[in-house]
Chains A and B, each alone.
Chain A
Amino acid sequence: MAGIRKHIVVTQSVRGVVLALSAPAMADMQLLGDEDMADISGQSGITLEMELGMTADRLTYFDDDRGIYLEDFRVGSASQPGKSAAHVIRVDITDEASLNLDYLVEDRRIEFGDIRLAGAPGIGMGGIFFDHSLQGNLRISPGGAFGSSGYTFDTAYTMTGGRLGYRTNGNEVFLDDITLSVEALGVTLDVVGSTLELNAPRVSGSYDVGAIRYSNNPANHGNTYDVATGQALPSYGGLSGSFDLSSKTGITAGGREGEGFRLDNETTINSASFIYHDDDHALAFREITGQYRLNDLRVDVTADRYGRDALGFTLGSLNGEFNIGRIEMGASGQSIGEVNVSFMLQDHIYNGRSYTNAVYLQGGGHPDAGSQGLRLSTEWSLQLADLSYTEDGNRVIFSGLQSWGQGDVTVNVTRDGELNGTRFYDGLRIGFENVSAGYRVNGLRVGSEDAPLQGGTELLLALGFYPAYEFDMDGQVTLGAGGASGEGLTINSDIRIRNGRAAIIAAPYDEGAGEVSQKGLWISDLSYDAHVRDMTLDVTEDGLALVKGEAWSLMDVGNLRVGDKDAGSSFGRFVAQKYETGSSMIIVPGGAGNVCAGGSGGTESACAASGGIWEARGDEGITIQLKQILAKEVSDARKNALTWETNRQVDSSGKPINNTGSRLVLDDIHTSDGGDFDGDGVDDNTFGIRTDLSVDVYQTKVVKKTDGADALGVVGARGDEKIMDPAAGAGYRYVSSPTTADLDNRPLGFAVRARSRFKELSINNIDLFHPTGGPQTAVYGVKMQNFDIEANLTATPIP
């Protein structure tokens, strides 16, 4: 470790340490050498009782002469500011020359008031506080994993009454009432070459967070209850879970530039669970297993790409895999299925530009929110990820997910009101500044990892999911505490996207012969402004419920292109304005259940009699219940309208000029219940458009459409059915008259059942705008009533 040349400076005083000692006398305590320890046996031990109160104005860490300051450092009582925290430590040395520490810490707070960078005066990252009572033991034995020069640690402790908080400008978010039990046996510490290696063969424990609270009153600092009202501070909900891990960590001197240090880590999650509690309901992630490998993470006090002083984290690579065996929600704890994610974060080239993985932590946050906050100058490169979802034993893989981007993310704890010209809301504000990013999915694979690539994400467009998306983004999402009732989240958001290119249909970017420009149907030259107010997120007895208070957006698609996202031919410009009040989305466990595909009937026999195929899709799966209440126009900015413009004039660079062509406008589209039933003089609008999307993976009937060989050379006749057969060369064959056994081997597909209903959907008028002739109304009203449309579609690869 000779290469580590760090300077830690403590400025100001360390005061108020009071020690009371039970025999033997404190004055005899000295550091023990290995020889001394070897000779010690049968000591009865000593007990130290301490009242610890400690403050320091500043702790400074220097790296290549750049400094980071931990300011207003304090250790003392959590419940009585200015007082000390009680410590009782019993020290014992065993026959094996191990040092035993039994400790009891009561009501302790460790706090930094702010974290600042020397090169960024006047702004800070905000403060952190950590309250806890601890009881446990630690045994330190000589000898590590690689010889006698190391150490072995065995520890077990329980933390109660814990709080962990983040504070900016007097507002804070904190985990409250934390209980944590940990046991870690056989942890070794060795110096291997130039690396300090910490090996934890097994760390297990459980945790419980009573609530995650928010306060916008500086006087509430570190309190569960509001000092003014005596009421419990609003809560985002609670957490609980357990873990059983193995990990190996290496720490090496040397940053990415000069001084600093390097971290390498391998962790295996033998088992874990994570449960989010919202009042009496839970969203549970159970049977979690996985592993990851962190390679060459460097930590430096440095500057980001714009020369701003920062604490830099730059990554060599991170890869791993996680599996969540069950995702449970709703009153019955039903599982939606199993999710598996494998990922590789490392440098890669996208669209001709190389991206890396780095986060540069800076102070300040949003400049209008106050002097404290976090700014994360980020760049990321997710070179490859596969996300698979398994329900009732059948699997669909979102294959070849890539994501890249860079930009600033700001984090502030804010309070409601306008400050320096910017509107803020109560909660944890996550801001986006000059974020330029993208993602793409190569395609779906159904059944197994070696299944052919296919489409299918098109069936999820109603959820706003695009298989590829590139954009420049600014905006904010503020996560407030408290849901529609009790615990939960309230979300206020403003997002602005420019230069967007999103695929509605996308071909693979890599069909096995290397990456190519992705072909598709693209909404390109996209500008999108979306605003959400008072949207609540709660776990309910049904599932996960997202209810929008008010939402409005303007999506201006400069060109709808086919082929290449930039150069493809254009269908013209499309503008969609949306204005919704009280819309909602509820995620419910369970898919479509029993389905009569291609026929009708509620029983297997009735379905077969109608020519349909009875599909028992099982208990798992996922259903998304959407309710879109399209409100009647209240202003030009808040209404529902759709515009198609073509034949635009072009500027000197050949770029079309908006609003110079011919336009077709569907104006003031809105839903209604079909009358004024509550007598308030306005048509009721509570039903909206209700869409239930049920997602399953299930077998389906695939029929050959032409005689002869298909794309993979498998021969069949028109009308033959595709039957999966591992013994066949391509993994399937065509059968003219399938047997019962054949029917059990129909190919798996991505099955989506969508049911949309509305009582009334109106278009106030449809206008035609001529570039010189002006507007003319073509249709004076459209009224659609009593619709119930069900589409039951299963997607498979094109044979």
Chain B
Amino acid sequence: MNRRYAHALLLALALSSSKHAVGELDRLNDEALSEVSGQGGIYLSGDISINEMGGPIENGYFGRCDDAGKKCGARLAYRLKEDGGWMVLDEIRGNFAFEGLTLRVRSIDSGFAGDGEAFNGDVVEIGLPDTVRYNDVRFKIAGSNTPRPTDPGFQQTDIFAVEMQGDVIMEGNLLVFPTGNP
């Protein structure tokens, strides 16, 4: 198989609510696993939270989360034109909890319906946790005329807000490897 084609097949992220929806990615059996080097790796359990109680700024716009009159999330603004307006992700907050996020470097020279033999290389494997628990994850998309909400003449138009709660099934492995000319 063409090596580039093999690369394309291997760059697969299995992100679905069903454990069967993994395309051509085959699970490695024990024999194949025995040929995998770099068994060290890590299995991570824990959580990541953003602005759980608020951020470090206390001013007229930002404050702690128990202050209803203030925004307690994080804010990211960028602009694509030199004198243009700013796209904003505002009030970014939330908590993600998981068990089983794995990280290792892995050699692949078999499996994957024959693609592995053609690939015959090393990848960084990020093993996705089966279940990620989203707790009050939210952000807003907005447009603003200034990068800081405390700048003079600040105006902002919220476009839409996203809020996520509950479990998300994330199964499979994310294989990261270089391709093309470095």
Interchain CB contact under 8 A, A573 and B40: no
Contact with B along A319-332 (1 / 0, CB 8 A): 00000000000000
Kindly state the separation between the CA atoms of A497 and B37 in the bound complex, as whole angstroms: 30
Q: Which of A434-454 contact B (CB under 8 A)?
A: 443, 453-454
B-contacting 9-mer, from A129-137, A206-214, A295-303, A558-566: A558-566
Minimum CB–CB distance from A709 to chain B (whole Å) comes to: 7
Stretch at the interface among A361-369, A506-514, A617-625, A730-738: A506-514
Q: Is the CB of B56 within 8 A of A757?
A: yes
Asked whether any CB of chain B lies closer than 8 Å to the CB of A485, the reply is no
Q: Does B78 lie within 8 Å of A507, measured CB to CB?
A: no
Enumerate A667-708 residues with CB–CB distance to B below 8 Å.
Answer: 674-675, 687, 690, 700-703, 705-706
Complex CA distance for A634 and B80, rounded to whole angstroms: 25
Query: Is there contact, CB below 8 Å, between A455 and B41?
Result: yes
* B143 CB-CB contact with A under 8 Å: no
Known contacts being A455-B103, A570-B178, is A598 close to B46, with CB within 8 Å? yes
Q: Distance (Å) between the CB of A161 and the closest chain B CB?
A: 52
B40 x A507 contact (CB < 8 A):
yes
Count, chain B residues at interface, CB 8 A: 70
Residue contact B40 to A506, C-beta cutoff 8 Å: yes
Q: Which residues on the A side are within 8 Å of B127 (C-beta)?
A: 705, 798
**A511–B82 touching, CB < 8 Å:** no
Number of A-B residue pairs having CB atoms within 8 Å of each other in the complex:
246
Within 8 A of B (CB), among A645-664: 646-648, 656, 661
Given contacts A562-B177, A611-B97, A674-B59, are A787 and B38 in contact (CB under 8 A)?
Answer: no
**Which residues 771-793 of A sit at the B interface, judged by CB distance below 8 A?**
777-793
Q: A569-B122, A786-B73 are in contact. Are A781 and B79 (CB under 8 A)?
A: yes
Cα–Cα distance between A597 and B99 once the two chains are bound (Å)? 11
Q: Does A777 lie within 8 Å of B82, measured CB to CB?
A: yes
B95 within 8 A of A: yes
Evaluate contact between B178 and A572: CB separation under 8 angstroms: yes
Number of interface residues of A (CB under 8 A): 81
| Complex: A748 Cα to B129 Cα, angstroms | 19
* Chain B 74-102: CB-based contact to A (< 8 A → 1; otherwise 0): 11111111101010000000010111101
* Bound-state Cα–Cα, A673 to B178, Å: 38
CB-CB under 8 A from A458, the residues of chain B are: 42, 103
Which of A84-92, A190-198, A406-414, A515-523 forms contacts with chain B? A515-523
Chain B 129-143 interface mask (CB, 8 Å, partner A; 1/0):
110010100000000
Contact partner of A562 (CB less than 8 A), chosen from B54, B59, B72, B105, is B105
15 interchain pairs (CB within 8 A)? A454-B41, A519-B105, A562-B123, A573-B182, A610-B135, A646-B181, A703-B100, A706-B27, A759-B56, A760-B57, A780-B79, A787-B74, A793-B45, A796-B45, A798-B39
* Additional A-B contacts beyond A598-B98, A787-B51, A787-B55 (17; CB < 8 A): A454-B43, A505-B105, A511-B37, A516-B37, A519-B107, A559-B182, A560-B178, A597-B47, A646-B181, A701-B45, A703-B99, A711-B39, A780-B81, A780-B82, A781-B78, A788-B74, A794-B46
Residues of chain A having any CB pair with chain B under 8 Å: 443, 453-456, 458, 505-508, 511, 516, 519-521, 559-564, 568-573, 597-600, 610-612, 646-648, 656, 661, 674-675, 687, 690, 700-703, 705-706, 709, 711, 718-719, 749, 757-760, 777-799
